[in-house]
Structure 1
């Protein structure tokens, strides 16, 4: 299983870096496909932030130790 994890993580890293490059390139104009990839990258980032906020909200309610 460890043999598969490294290439998968490198692929995810490459997608993230490529998405960031497209966001910067789209700010300066860029072709239509770059603007589409930038929009998708920003949308995925917003969705991830939404779910991260939800998981943080739920985790604070179970931390009481009875003091």
Structure 2
């Protein structure tokens, strides 16, 4: 059952990414609607901090290098 749920989540995520790219290239109207929902969901996750709950950095430079 867990494998089925995770497979469904993966298919939805890949499908959403495909719709975002297709809509950016001038796809049909429904792809723009799906892309808007996907992008809004991404913004909500980003605003909420996602599962990690905040910053992911470890105190290094902005590009992730230590020196």
Give me the TM-score of the superposition, normalised by structure 1: 0.73
Aligned residue for 1:13?
10
Structure 1 residue 55 corresponds to structure 2 residue 53:
yes
Q: Which moved more, 1:25-34 or 1:45-54?
A: 45-54
> What count of residue pairs does the alignment treat as equivalent?
54
Q: Which one has the bigger helix percentage?
A: 1
Higher relative contact order (CA 8 A, sep 6+): 1
Asked which structure has the greater CA Rg, the reply is 1
Unaligned 5+ segments in structure 1 are 58-67
Distance, in Å, in 2 between the alignment partners of 1:10 and 1:21 is: 16
Could you say what the CA RMSD is over the residues aligned between the two structures, in angstroms?
1.7
Unaligned 5+ segments in structure 2 are 56-67
Aligned residue for 1:27?
24
Q: Give, in angstroms, the shift of residue 55 of structure 1.
A: 2.1
Give me the TM-score of the superposition, normalised by structure 2: 0.73
